[in-house]
Structure 1
Amino acid sequence: MHTEINYETCLRYVRGETTLEEARTVRAWLADPANELLAQYWMSQQALESEPVRPADGNDPYDYASMRENIYARMQLDSIPTASAARPVMWRRWAAAAAVVGAVAGTSWLVHERGQVAEPTVASYATPYGQTRVVQLPDGSEVTLNAHSTVRYAATPNSERPREVWLDGEAYFSVKHMPNHQPFVVHTTAGLNVEVLGTKFTVYRRHEQARVVLLSGKVQVAFADTTKAKVILKPGELLETSDQNPSKVVHQAVQAAPYAAWADGKLVFEATTIADIATRLQDTYGVEVVVASPALKQRKFTGTFPSNNLDLLCENLAATFNLQIVRRQNQVILSNHPSSHHNP
């Protein structure tokens, strides 16, 4: 029988009320980096609902540094404490989960006397080149990070303030609508902020450019430059700005799906110049792409490829344009094939 992981399930786990199979499922869930932020939020909620008791001997049951030393042994226990276990044991189980979360994410939370919780650090999640990552936020929203991207988010949301994230790179957002209509805001270093209530969209911030593409719902784009009017996007619309020409704002209808295809493990090119393809490859794989001639950079290519197969894309580029493609360590060189008599 499948065990649903929610706050009550985790609470039963720390109380020692789960079965052996349920406990194993909870531990596996806690060890998944994609769940670390939600787990941390549940821990803080439990801290507010309980009143931990400090041992009379003065030892701090929340000494996470020492707990981390034996955390992996704890997480692989085959026996489950009984429901009558003392409260410090319950809190050690939360602490064990927190240690795993902290070891992966570099974030932390501390429980003080009388059940007070210190302000949690802002959680930060990043992806290396060639990988994407799904992050579950405490409010139930989901962020899919593209390669070489970073998102930050407050570990404990405040229902009286907007939900806020800070993005560097590219991400696909699936935002959960809240009963109190709490806004969700994505901040970028481009001076462009995306305000939503519940929707699906992508945000791109690289190479002195910023772009928002709306797939469903409704978003409002605001600017740090308050002389610019806010722009409301409809599904299938794009908004784009450039640091080189900050006064220009592009707002137009587009085929939105290709802009989010990377979240499904695909690279989609539709009449895309080789120059733009080179930039995409650099952003995705961290490779330096050298295009031999300016004329070659302007040639256009259409196709869909799995994002985990750079070789397949290179083979198709070579066949389509009769190119010679040479890979040297972290460099890809595109040039006309010596046997070609065609000058693009």
Structure 2
Amino acid sequence: MKPEISKEMVFHYFEGRATAFQKELIEGWARESVNFEQFFVWLQEWENKNLQYASDVEVGIARHRNRMNDQNRNSANPSSQPGEVAGRNRFLRSIHTSWLVAASLLIVMLAAGLLFKDLIRYQTYTTDYGEIRRLQLPDGSKVVLNANSSLRVPRFGFGADTREVHLRGEANFAVEHTPSHQRFVVKTEKNFNVEVLGTEFNVYARPLANARVVLNKGKILLNYQKDHQIQKLLMKPGDLVTVDARGRAEQQKTANPQKYSAWKVHRFVFEKTSLKEVCALFKESFGLQVSIPDNNLAQLTISGSFTAINAEELLDILTEDSGLTYSRQKDGSVIIRASP
């Protein structure tokens, strides 16, 4: 029968006081997936009770220089023997070198600790090009993550202390309302965030394009930054808001908000969408570089609903229906031209 792993034993491990046998037991226990979450819960609890020492490098350098100056003044004393002075200087150089090495190691350890702390605090869900992923968060909210996207969710206290997530890319949210009316906040890197209580909406926050929020059900509060000031915009079902890089928001109504999340079932809906915009979609969703050398052709628009699982299927459908042709290049990219 394996000895039970207790919190006290794990705390001793964090403090470096565990025996070799206990260390081996705990490390084997922590490697098992069923214990992974508990290990990080106890680690965070231990860290909160044992704040790590952060060195003041400037104070340390000043203190060290004072010690050096005192030693130099003593070395100038004629009563000191030449051999004693030389030995003392070698000793001081040794201390100086050791202190620099220790300080460098401490700085590296602190930097690594900050990075590792983020890995401990957050669970990050990601999707590859062409991949769609469905998630259920601890509070019961459901998320569909589009291709080439990531969602960062707190590992601890989600649904109790906070319901704040960080999105890069595109996702569709169906947020569960809580008895305490706790707000659910979607933060992005596009200078805006979305606050909700319980609703369904789609957030598009790609790096190289205007941000977009579409509301299907309920109400949401859109917070965005314009001229270094936070602006608030209340959205109702059917509202479509785009926010550009300068923080300018444009609000309009859409009769069919569901089409903006049709990607959840691999369906692509276009309404007078330029071929240039379609090329951007291939890059965002499939990682495929598609170009149209003819600028006039690139400005032509297409409309329709198309279902495709991968980039090849979508290319075939779009070119056949539009009287176009495409060719693959040696580097894997695609060029679209008008059919001869």
| TM-score normalised over the length of structure 1 | 0.66
Q: 1:331 aligns with which of 318, 333, 338?
A: 333
* 1:129 to 1:96, Cα distance in 2 relative to 1, 3 A: closer
* Structure 2 counterpart of 1:59: 22
- Correspondence list, 1:303-314, <5 A: 303-314=304-315
In the alignment, structure 2 segments of 5+ residues that lack a partner are 11-17, 49-119
Secondary structure (helix, strand or coil) at the match of 2:231 reads: coil
Secondary structure (helix, strand or coil) at the match of 1:230 reads: strand
Output the CA distance in 1 between the equivalents of 2:235 and 2:135: 25
- Correspondence list, 1:1-344, <5 A: 52=7, 54=9, 59-60=22-23, 63-64=26-27, 68=31, 95-99=32-36, 109-111=40-42, 116=45, 120-157=120-157, 161-206=161-206, 207-225=208-226, 227-243=229-245, 245-246=246-247, 248-254=248-254, 255-328=256-329, 330-337=332-339, 339=340
Output the CA distance in 1 between the equivalents of 2:161 and 2:257: 30
Q: Give the partner amino acid of 1:335.
A: R
CA contact (8 A) 2:139 2:158 kept: no
* 1:161 to 1:111, Cα distance in 2 relative to 1, 3 A: closer
* 1:162 to 1:322, Cα distance in 2 relative to 1, 3 A: same
Output the CA distance in 1 between the equivalents of 2:279 and 2:267: 16
CA contact (8 A) 2:194 2:221 kept: yes
Secondary structure (helix, strand or coil) at the match of 1:63 reads: helix
Q: Give the partner amino acid of 1:109.
A: F
Output the CA distance in 2 between the equivalents of 1:66 and 1:228: 48
Aligned-residue Cα RMSD (Å) equals: 2.8
* Structure 2 counterpart of 1:83: none
Output the CA distance in 2 between the equivalents of 1:53 and 1:189: 40
Secondary structure (helix, strand or coil) at the match of 2:22 reads: coil
In the alignment, structure 1 segments of 5+ residues that lack a partner are 1-49, 69-94, 103-107, 340-344
1:43-88, Cα deviation, whole Å (9 max, x unpaired)? xxxxxxx9656499761587346753xxxxxxxxxxxxxxxxxxxx
| Structure holding more helix per residue | 2
* Structure 2 counterpart of 1:42: none
Secondary structure (helix, strand or coil) at the match of 1:59 reads: helix
Output the CA distance in 2 between the equivalents of 1:62 and 1:184: 40
Output the CA distance in 1 between the equivalents of 2:159 and 2:141: 14
Larger Rg, first or second structure (1 or 2): 2
Output the CA distance in 1 between the equivalents of 2:138 and 2:161: 14
CA contact (8 A) 2:138 2:159 kept: no
Secondary structure (helix, strand or coil) at the match of 1:109 reads: helix
Secondary structure (helix, strand or coil) at the match of 2:40 reads: coil
Output the CA distance in 1 between the equivalents of 2:277 and 2:188: 22
Q: Give the partner amino acid of 1:132.
A: I
Output the CA distance in 2 between the equivalents of 1:239 and 1:186: 15
